[in-house]
Amino acid sequence: MVTQSVTGVESESDHASRLAARGVTVGYGARTVIDDLDVAIPPGVITTIIGPNGCGKSTLLRTLSRLLKPSKGTVVLDGDDIARLRTRDVARKLGLLPQAPVAPEGLTVADLVARGRHPHQSWLRQWSSDDADVVERALAMTGVSDLADRPVDALSGGQRQRVWISMTLAQGTDLLLLDEPTTYLDLAHAMDVLDLVDDLHESGCTVVMVLHDLNLAARYSDNLIVMREGSILAQGHPRDVLTAELLQEAFGLNAKVIDDPVGDRPLIVPIGRTHVQLD
């Protein structure tokens, strides 16, 4: 459906990882959440960070996106220490959608998506025809062009999330970090948003996201990062990573991993206390 990224710029380096954390320690105040962690994000694929509540997956994503400053170690973006880059230059390379963002009441979809152009503007050059073109393409790509004049707060949860992703796209980066893009969405809308994320990946974007739903993570990502208590337990393709043992170790979850009847990925079937017949 989508054949090129919003700006039409192809990823420059397809071999090395574009984003990596090297020995990062991150915490809030005295509490350390992540201790001496190394991770590299492979280019051109969808990477999903999973793990139990409070394991530090959002903290890792926020660190990779320079929202949190590590007390030790560095985050490297295209070979440069992200802390030494101007935040505006980072914003031209890396798009970020935080968890559950809120738009001011009455702000229209077109105006919200237009804010995504901010890193490319200056005090004198606040709006150009390039900006208008990119915003129109971002609206079209996320299927929200028809909603352009509607206030964001009047939309449904699924539409709203599409609009926010559209704003991130208008930023014109081919590296997207999404923090729980399916929060508060029902399953159908969650699938809809993840199909959109997959479209972006097809168009050449590198995507890193945090997801809660393990089966959706397995279905939509090519690379899983499994975390527990601030460190990485496993990383790799869902088929290689997701096993009953790992789920027990990471989540304390008793589950069976079977072949997905409609896909080529593993399917996790949790085993609870009741209504279960094990052979």
Partner 1 sequence: MKPSVTPGVRLGQVSFVWRPWIVSVSLLLAAATFLVFCLSIGVGDFPIGLPQVIATIVGRGEQVDEFVIMDLRMPRALAGVVVGIALGVSGALTQSIARNPLASPDVLGITNGAGAVAVFLVTVSGGTSAAIVDSVGLSAAALMGGLGTGLLVYFLAWRRGIDGLRLILIGISVSAVMEALTTWLLVTADIRDVAQAQAWLVGSLDDRSWDEVQVAVWGALVLLVVVTTAAFQFKPMHLGDDVAAGLGVRHSAVRAVLLLCAVLLAGVAVSAAGPVPFVALVAPQVAMRLARCPTPPLVASALVGALLLTGSDLVARTALPVSLPVGVVTAAIGGPFLVYLLVRANRR
Which residue ranges make up the site for partner 1 (CB under 8 A)?
28-29, 65-67, 86-92, 95-99, 101-107, 110-112, 114-116, 118-119, 121-129, 131-132, 135-136, 139-140, 145, 148-149, 151, 168, 171
Smallest separation, CB 131 to partner 1 (Å)? 7
Q: What separation in angstroms does the CA of 79 have from each of 17, 74, 97?
A: 9, 11, 23
Query: Between residues 109 and 267, which has the closer beta carbon with respect to partner 1?
Result: 109
Query: Between residues 90 and 268, which has the closer beta carbon with respect to partner 1?
Result: 90
Query: Between residues 29 and 261, which has the closer beta carbon with respect to partner 1?
Result: 29
Residue 55 CB-half CA count within 13 A: 22
Which residues are within 8 A (CB) of 130 and not within 5 positions of it... i.e. 6 or more apart?
Answer: 120
Gap between the Cα atoms of 195 and 18, Å rounded: 23
Gap between the Cα atoms of 52 and 36, Å rounded: 19
Smallest separation, CB 225 to partner 1 (Å)? 21
Check if the beta carbon of residue 26 is closer than 8 Å to that of residue 70. Answer: yes
Query: Between residues 135 and 250, which has the closer beta carbon with respect to partner 1?
Result: 135
Gap between the Cα atoms of 250 and 227, Å rounded: 7
Smallest separation, CB 137 to partner 1 (Å)? 10
Smallest separation, CB 35 to partner 1 (Å)? 20
Query: Between residues 80 and 111, which has the closer beta carbon with respect to partner 1?
Result: 111
Q: Which amino acid is at 176?
A: L
